[in-house]
Amino acid sequence: MRPTVIAGLVLYPAAVWVSSCSSDGAPPTQQTTASFPPATPGVAFGVTGPGCGQPPTHPTGLVIDSVSTPSAFGIAVRDDGLTYFTELFNAGVGITSTRTRTLDGFIQTGQIPTGVTFAPDGATAYVTNQGSQNVGVIDVATAQQVSTIFTPAGSPSVVRVSPDGTRLFAATASTTVYIVDTRSQQIIGSVEVGFVPNGFAVHPDGRIIYVSAALGGTVSEVDMFTGTVLRTVFVGGTPQDMAVTRDGQRLYVGNEAGYLNEIDLLTGQLTATITLVGGAFGIGVTRTTGRPTCPFRAGESCKSSTCSRAGWPRHSPWAADRAASRSASRGTSAQSPTRAAT
Question: Per-residue pLDDT for the chain (342 aa), expressed as one digit of tens each?
Answer: 333 222 333 333 445 554 444 333 333 323 333 343 444 443 333 333 344 444 555 556 677 888 899 989 999 999 999 999 999 999 999 999 999 999 999 999 999 999 999 999 999 999 999 999 999 999 999 999 999 999 999 999 999 999 999 999 999 999 999 999 999 999 999 999 999 999 999 999 999 999 999 999 999 999 999 999 999 999 999 999 999 999 999 999 999 999 999 999 999 999 999 999 999 998 888 765 433 343 443 333 333 223 222 333 333 444 444 433 333 333 333 334 544 433
Give the whole-angstrom CA distance, residue 263 versus residue 270.
4
Predicted local distance difference test score (pLDDT) of residue 32? 35
Please name which of 18, 26, 19, 21 lies closest in space to residue 2, comparing C-alpha atoms: 26
Give the whole-angstrom CA distance, residue 213 versus residue 241.
10
Same fold, 1-24+66-192 and 194-342: yes
Whole-model pTM? Answer: 0.73
Instruction: Domain 194-342: give its CATH code.
Output: 2.130.10.10
Predicted local distance difference test score (pLDDT) of residue 34? 37
- Please provide residue 321's backbone torsions phi and psi, each rounded to the nearest 5 degrees: -80, 170
Give the whole-angstrom CA distance, residue 68 versus residue 72.
10
* Strand partners of residue 132: none
Report yes or no: 340 and 332 within 8 Å, Cβ to Cβ. no
Spans of all domains in the chain: 1-24+66-192, 194-342
Our measurement of the distance from residue 310's CA atom to the centroid of its chain's CA atoms, rounded to an integer in Å, reads 27
Predicted local distance difference test score (pLDDT) of residue 255? 96
The second-level CATH assignment, the architecture, of 1-24+66-192 is 7 Propeller (2.130)
Predicted local distance difference test score (pLDDT) of residue 284? 84
Residue 148 CB coordination number (10 Å): 17
Residue 147 CB coordination number (10 Å): 12
Residue 47 CB coordination number (10 Å): 18
Predicted local distance difference test score (pLDDT) of residue 109? 98
Helix (H), strand (E), coil (C) string for the chain:
CCCCCCEEEEEECCEEEEEECCCCCCCCCCECCCCCCCCCCCCCECCCCCHHHCCCCCCCCCEEEEEECCCEEEEEECCCCEEEEEECCCCEEEEEECCCCCCCEEEECCCCEEEEEECCCCCEEEEEEHHHCEEEEEECCCCEEEEEEECCCCCEEEEEECCCCCEEEEEECCCEEEEEECCCCEEEEEEECCCCEEEEEECCCCCEEEEEECCCCEEEEEECCCCEEEEEEECCCCEEEEEECCCCCEEEEEECCCEEEEEECCCCEEEEEEECCCCEEEEEECCCCCCCCCCCCCCCCCCHHHHCCCCCCCCCEEEEEHHHHHHHHHCCCCCCCHHHCC
- The residues, ordered by sequence, that sit 6+ positions from 35 with a Cβ below 8 Å of its Cβ are none
Report yes or no: 295 and 260 within 8 Å, Cβ to Cβ. yes
